[in-house]
Every structure is written in C-alpha cells, then in structure tokens.
Amino acid sequence: MLTQSDLSRAIILRYLLVLAVFGLTGIILFVIFFHTAFSNSLMTEREYHSKNLVTVATEVVDHLYQESIKTPSESKTHYQQQAIETLKSIAFEENGYYWISDKNGVMIMHPYKKDKVGEDLLNWQDKSGRYIFRDINDISKTGGGWLSYYWPKPNTDIPFEKISYVNQFKPWGWNIGTGIYLDDIKPEILRIVLQATGLITLFFFMFITALYFVANHLIKKLDNLAIKDDLTGLFSKRFLNEVAKIIEQRAQRASDRKLAVFFLDIDHFKYINDSFGHVQGDSVIKHVAHTISETCRQDALQIRYGGEEFLVIDFFSNKGLVNLTAERIRQAIASLKHPFPDCPPITISIGVTLYKESETLKDTIQRADDMLYQAKENGRNCSVFEGIVVSNAEKN
C-alpha cells in the first residue's frame, strides 16, 4: 500500500536515521575526547596533590629537624624516629602512603613493606628492569621530581604501575616520596566518563524521540507544502523523487503483486490553453486531477508530473486489473462535463507499464512515457499497455 502517511513517515524516518548516525558518531568522538581530556586533567590534579603531600611531609621532617637543633640533649635518632612514626601513621585516599629511603638506596620507612626496611635496594629492579632507587637518588639531587615504576599495592605482592613524586631532605639525606597507582584512578575515570556519556546519550535519544513525534505531528502539514501540487492537491514530482527508492523497495518485496505505472496526458491541452486562456486551462487540469483521484484506489499514488501530465502508481495482482484501471480512468475523464462554455471534449492518453526488478522507478516511468507516445500516435483518447493498445474510444 502506498499511503500518503506511510511514505511521508518513511522520508522522515530516513532523515532521523541519518541524524541518529551523525549524533552517535558525535557521542563516540565526544567520549574519546572527554576520556582523554578528563584522564589528563585528573592525572594532573593527582600529581599536583601528591607533590603537595610530599611538600607537607618535608615540612614536618624539617620541623623535627629544627627541634633537634634546639634541643641537642636529645639525639638526632630520636627525632628521626619521631618523623618516621609520624609519616608512617598517615594514610590518604586509596592506597596512599609515604615512604622514605636514603641516598645509599636503603629503605628507611615503608608502612606496608616492612621486610624491605633496612635493606639496601640500590641494585633492586622492578619488573620492567628499572633500578628504582638509583633513579630516586638522581631525581632527588636535582631538586625533586616524578618517576614511574612498578611496586606492589598495600597488602599484596603483585606489582602495579605507579608514579611517585620524590623530594630530598638534605640535612638527613632522606628521600621522601608518595605516589599514585595508575590502576586506582582508572575506575574513577571510567565512572565519570560513563556518567557523562550516559547523560549525553539519554538527552540525545530524548531529543530524537521528541523530534520523531513532532515530525509525525507535522506530516499532515508537510503534505500540504512542497510534497503537494498547489493547483490539483495531488503529490508533486518533488515528492516522487523523495519516495522513489522506497517504492522500488516495496515493489521488490511484493512477490504476489506487480507495481504498475500509468503515465497520463491531457489531449490537445495546448489548444485549450491557447484558445481559452490559462485560467480555463488550469480549470481543466483541476477537473482531470479530481477525476483521477476519484477513480483510482485511495492507496494509489497520484502525482501531477508537470503541466498537463499525471502519474498513477499502484500495485495489482494481475494484468487484467491494470487494463481495467486504465480504461476506467480514460472513460471517467471522457465523460466529464465541460468545465466552461465552448470547451472542446476533454480526453486523455495513457501509457502503462510494469516495474521490473532490474530497473529503477525512473526507468519504469520512462517506459510508461514511451507507451504514452504510442497512445498519442494511435489517435489519442486511448491507453497502451507495454506496446499493446488495450482501450480506445472506438471500442466503447
């Protein structure tokens, strides 16, 4: 069935599909960009936070160092131990802690790897083969900085990738550091990205849904604009161009029915137009269009193709019904009462053909136009179905 609403809706759905594809592509690009930007932003924020934590720890150690200077009665070891216990007790965020090593690569303090405390780790390598504590010494000598390596998380022996900020407290020869396990921030990044993506996707689909309902609401109004011919109220050639592919697809799927194209042309219309004027000519076109609309099935697609030319496109179960329809249209128009005084008889010529799967609808229309030319050559006021004259005035 080729109903007006179905075809209009099909056009709208096609454009909505294109919009959805572009929208989803935009969402994917946004997710990639947002993930990268947010990851970098979060990493920068965490790095800044870690650096501040090391600065605070260094100030705590420096305070105790100053106290040791003021009270020489207490040994340096006492204040160093106090500093160690203070930093050991501080835990922050997930898997966040301080650690201390000296310039010789000996682990001075680690709250979770106590078996490493007192051990010379200068020649110790992580799983990537990096000499971590040599690098720590080198970075500390230059005023502090970042390094990446693999180190077990608290209460595990499994090494994870980590970045740490290290600063040197020169009076005691300590390297003080804290860091971030990269694996810990990935869930947070994923959570924020998914939340943002989910909201954007939700709003996008809400927009598409609202747009679909608005578009359906406007279908009737659209039918009266560019897709309709102002003079006759029939569909326009522009509308036909929009739905051609849809019609072809339906014709290919309809195995039990054939798509027929009727090409109609008002006979001697130029004479009517030149002799009685364009206003009267328009009146004839309107009467013919109305008769076509009244004679054809409601589901048939009726088009003013241009000037005095019309198309009727419909499905039929057999060729006999095609011929019957062409003859019914021809007779109905031949029986029209004259729309104005002195108007000559109004007749039409019809070219008819069936759609073939190997061609486009445009090809079928061209073949129907060829049949129309044969009808004109055969004396007008007749129909030609694929090269055979099937009706004319003399047979009535």
Could you tell me if 197 and 26 are in contact, meaning their C-beta atoms sit under 8 angstroms apart? no
Round to whole Å and give the CA distance between 309 and 292. 12
Could you tell me if 351 and 371 are in contact, meaning their C-beta atoms sit under 8 angstroms apart? yes
DSSP, res 249? H
- Single-letter amino acid, residue 136: I
Round to whole Å and give the CA distance between 80 and 62. 10
List, in sequence order, every residue forming a beta bridge with 128; answer none if it has no partner: none
Per-residue pLDDT of the chain (396 residues; tens, 9 = 90+): 455 556 666 666 677 677 777 777 777 777 777 667 656 676 677 778 888 888 999 999 999 999 888 887 678 889 999 999 999 888 777 788 999 999 889 999 999 888 899 999 999 999 999 999 999 999 988 888 988 899 998 888 889 988 899 999 999 999 999 988 888 777 776 777 777 777 777 777 777 777 667 666 666 555 555 678 889 999 999 889 888 999 999 999 888 899 999 999 999 999 988 888 888 899 999 999 999 999 998 889 999 999 999 999 999 999 999 999 999 999 999 998 776 777 788 999 999 999 998 899 999 999 999 999 999 999 999 999 988 887 655 444
Burial class (CB in 10 A: 0-12, 13-18, 19+), 78: middle
Give CA separation, 69 vs 22, 55, 168, 362, in Å: 70, 21, 19, 99
DSSP, res 157? -
Nearest alpha carbon to residue 272 among 283, 262, 287, 263: 283
Domains and CATH numbers, the chain: 1-223 (3.30.450.20), 226-395 (3.30.70.270)
Q: Which residue has the tokens 């849904």?
A: 209
